[in-house]
């Protein structure tokens, strides 16, 4: 089949890489793509949020299946637009994507369907929000309702910090419309795990679990980022907990969305936290995670395009979604200063050497100037290795990282460490 992939980050390079290895895929377009996807596919200079132009491209190039990487076009209704035009597209429609694009909807939805999550209140009024925040036993997590590219959440350490966040969101309008409503929620403690699932609106095929590393520095110190690395599987989600997450989170979510007239097709991402009081759902996302995609897709044995097509057509066979044994680790190499201000346009060396060492180097924020690869974003590369076990995959990923250099390059040195600690080997 002819496939169009929408997006341009590390997740999309991993998707393109996986689609390239799908026997059912004859040709692959990526819009707009990046220098990494250009090596797997044909990049077309159409923006990921330009829905009319994407639809025109799919028509002109007789695309059989469109796959959407990022959340923004899904929240804008790319699936609705393609379906109205009679084109096959994998992903939730705008109403189903609200599970991610509105945290107020998402929290209310979880409450209606008894999906375990933090206690919360939703507010548009600053004084009411502050009063609720102060009534909680610990300084709360404060979240803007709408999409904010990972920047709309403050897990406050003090009540004053929570109040300041609410002021920025509700009184100063720092997040625009996205911050007109907020969620204030009970702070939870525990290890986080991402459990994603393919779904056709009815049936669910869970992926291997993964653990992201959101904080910028080792030991989960410093501000949150888009994700400094990941590993899969995340064994802290034991087989028992995984079963519980499927039964108490993923299945009720898919059934609840269908029951509310928002049938969900595509990849559903559950962000879980394993608290002393059991599994709680921190959030849902309406697409693959970044960097979770980079560690989960290399372990997928099944043909990704076939699986996503089956989701889109409402005929997913969960038994067909098989996985390779082993582990996968991705270490993000970021620009110095990220997630704050950083410089771009710096030359990158050593990518080929890392690949010779057996790593898959996914491009996240790069651009080409002639044949010179330059930095072009906060997260620059995702150096990824697959191995028979986590220890080997960590070792090999860091060998790749050592081979690559650019001025100011920053990465965490402890990606996967929690997985080793869980296994009792660290």
Ligand X SMILES: Nc1ncnc2c1ncn2[C@@H]1O[C@H](COP(=O)(O)OP(=O)(O)OP(=O)(O)O)[C@@H](O)[C@H]1O
Element (H, E) at 367: strand 366-369
Asked if 145 is part of the footprint of ligand X (rule: CB under 6 A), the reply reads no
CB of 153 to ligand X, least distance (A): 4
- Nearer of residues 39 and 168 to ligand X, judged by Cβ: 168
Q: How many residues bind ligand X (CB under 6 A)?
A: 17
Nearer to ligand X, 6 or 272 (CB): 272
What does the per-residue mask of binding to Mg ion show for 280-319, with x meaning CB under 5 A? ---x-x----------------------------------
User: What sign results for the dihedral spanned by CA atoms 248, 251, 256, 259?
Assistant: negative
Measured distance CA(90)–CA(311) in Å, rounded: 7
Contact with ligand X (CB under 6 A) among 38, 44, 155, 164: 155
Q: Is 383 helix (H, G, I), strand (E, B) or coil?
A: strand
Instruction: Output the residue with the shortest Cβ distance to ligand X.
Output: 150
User: Is residue 378 a contact point for ligand X (CB under 6 A)?
Assistant: no
143 binds, options Mg ion, ligand X, none, Cβ within 5 to 8 A by partner type? ligand X
Site string for ligand X, 12-51 (x = CB under 6 A): ----------------------------------------
Q: How far is the CB of 283 from ligand X (least distance, A)?
A: 4
Give the span between the Cα atoms of 39 and 31, in whole angstroms: 14
Closer CB to Mg ion, residue 17 or residue 269?
A: 269
Which position among 107, 214, 262, 287 is part of the footprint of ligand X (CB under 6 A)?
A: 214
Contact partner at residue 185 from Mg ion, ligand X, none, CB < 5 to 8 Å by partner kind: ligand X
**The tokens of 12 are what?**
């999309």
Asked if 9 and 290 touch (Cβ cutoff 8 Å), the reply is: yes
- Of 141, 205, 299, 415, which lies in the binding site for ligand X, with binding defined by CB under 6 A? 141
Minimum distance from CB of 336 to Mg ion (Å)?
Answer: 26
Q: Which is nearer to Mg ion, 283 or 414 (CB)?
A: 283
Closer residue to ligand X (CB): 216 or 316: 216
CA distance 426 to 415: 13
Please state the closest distance from residue 264 (CB atom) to Mg ion, in A: 15
Give the nearest distance from C-beta 127 to ligand X in angstroms.
22
Question: Which of 210, 196, 197 is CA-nearest to residue 328?
Answer: 210
- Determine, following the binding rule CB under 6 A, whether residue 150 of this chain makes contact with ligand X: yes
Q: Which of these ranges, 187-195, 292-300, 349-357, 368-376, lies near ligand X under the rule CB under 6 A?
A: 187-195
Tell me whether residue 150 or residue 314 sits nearer to ligand X (CB atom).
150
The residue among 118, 119, 57, 101 whose CA lies nearest residue 264 is 101
Q: How many CB atoms lie within 10 A of CB 66?
A: 27
DSSP track, 8-52 = -SHHHHHHHHHHHT-TT-SEEEEEE--TTGGGTSEE----TT-HH
Residues, the chain, total?
Answer: 426
Nearest to 364 by CA among 331, 394, 342, 327: 331
Nearer to ligand X, 65 or 272 (CB): 272
Residue 242, SS3 per DSSP: helix
Helices 103-112 & 251-259 angle (0-180, nearest 10): 100
**Greatest extent of the chain over all pairs of C-alpha atoms, in Å:** 58
Does residue 181 touch ligand X according to CB under 6 A?
Answer: no
Taking the complex as a whole, the smallest distance from the CB of residue 105 to Mg ion amounts, in Å, to: 13
Nearest-approach distance from CB 148 to ligand X, in angstroms: 6
Minimum separation from the CB atom of position 273 to Mg ion (A): 13
Taking CB under 6 A as the criterion, which residues in 381-410 touch ligand X? Answer: none
209 binds ligand X (CB under 6 A): no
Sequence-ordered alpha helix ranges (H) in 297-416: 304-312, 351-356, 390-403
By CB under 6 A, is residue 152 in contact with ligand X? yes
3-state secondary structure of 357: coil
User: Which of ligand X, Mg ion, none has residue 192 at its interface (CB below 5 to 8 Å by kind)?
Assistant: ligand X
Query: Between the CA of residue 236 and those of 194, 219, 272, 275, what are the distances in Å?
Result: 11, 17, 11, 12
- Interface with ligand X, residue 282, by CB under 6 A: yes
Phi, psi of 229 (to 5 degrees): 150, 170
Output the CA angle 59-61-65, nearest 5 degrees.
Answer: 75
Query: Within the chain, how many helices (H) and strands (E) appear?
Result: 15, 22
Residues making contact with ligand X (CB under 6 A)? 118, 141, 143, 150, 152-153, 155, 185-188, 192, 214, 271, 282-283, 285
* Binding interface with Mg ion (CB under 5 A): 283, 285
């Amino acid at each position: 089949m002819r496939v169009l992939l929408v997006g341009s980050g590390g997740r999309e390079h991993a998707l393109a890489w996986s689609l390239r290895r799908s026997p059912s895929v004859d040709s692959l377009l990526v819009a707009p793509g990046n220098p990494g996807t250009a090596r797997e596919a044909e990049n077309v200079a159409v923006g990921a949020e330009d829905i009319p132009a994407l639809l025109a491209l799919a028509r002109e190039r007789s695309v059989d299946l469109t796959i959407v990487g990022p959340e923004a076009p899904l929240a804008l209704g790319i699936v609705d637009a393609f379906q109205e035009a009679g084109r096959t597209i994998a992903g939730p429609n705008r109403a189903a994507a609200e599970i991610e694009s509105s945290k107020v909807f998402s929290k209310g939805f979880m409450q209606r369907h008894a999906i375990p999550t933090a206690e919360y209140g939703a507010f548009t009024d600053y004084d009411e929000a502050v009063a609720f925040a102060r009534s909680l036993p610990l300084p709360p997590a404060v979240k803007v309702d709408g999409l904010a590219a990972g920047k709309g959440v403050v897990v406050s350490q003090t009540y004053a910090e929570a109040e300041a966040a609410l002021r920025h969101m509700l009184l100063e309008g720092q997040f625009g419309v996205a911050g007109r409503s907020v969620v204030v929620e009970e702070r939870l403690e525990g290890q986080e795990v991402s459990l994603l699932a393919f779904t056709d609106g009815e049936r669910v095929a869970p992926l291997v679990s993964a653990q992201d590393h959101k904080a910028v520095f080792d030991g989960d110190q410093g501000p949150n980022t888009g994700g400094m690395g990941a590993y899969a599987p995340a064994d802290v989600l034991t087989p028992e907990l995984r079963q519980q997450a499927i039964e108490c989170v993923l299945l009720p979510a898919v059934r609840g969305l269908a029951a509310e007239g928002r049938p969900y097709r595509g990849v559903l991402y559950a962000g879980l936290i394993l608290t002393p009081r059991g599994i709680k759902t921190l959030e849902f996302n309406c697409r693959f995670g970044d960097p979770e995609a980079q560690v989960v897709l290399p372990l997928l044995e099944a043909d990704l395009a076939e699986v996503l097509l089956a989701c889109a057509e409402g005929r997913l066979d969960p038994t067909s979604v098989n996985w390779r044994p082993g582990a996968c680790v991705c270490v993000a190499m970021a620009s110095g200063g990220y997630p704050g201000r950083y410089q771009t346009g710096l030359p990158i060396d050593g990518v080929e050497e890392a690949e010779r060492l057996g790593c898959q180097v996914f491009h996240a924020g790069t651009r080409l100037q002639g044949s010179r690869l330059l930095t072009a974003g906060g997260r620059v590369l995702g150096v990824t290795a697959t191995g028979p076990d986590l220890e080997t995959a960590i070792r090999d990923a860091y060998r790749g990282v050592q081979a690559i250099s650019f001025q100011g390059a920053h990465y965490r040195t402890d990606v996967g460490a929690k997985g080793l600690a869980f296994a009792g080997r660290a």
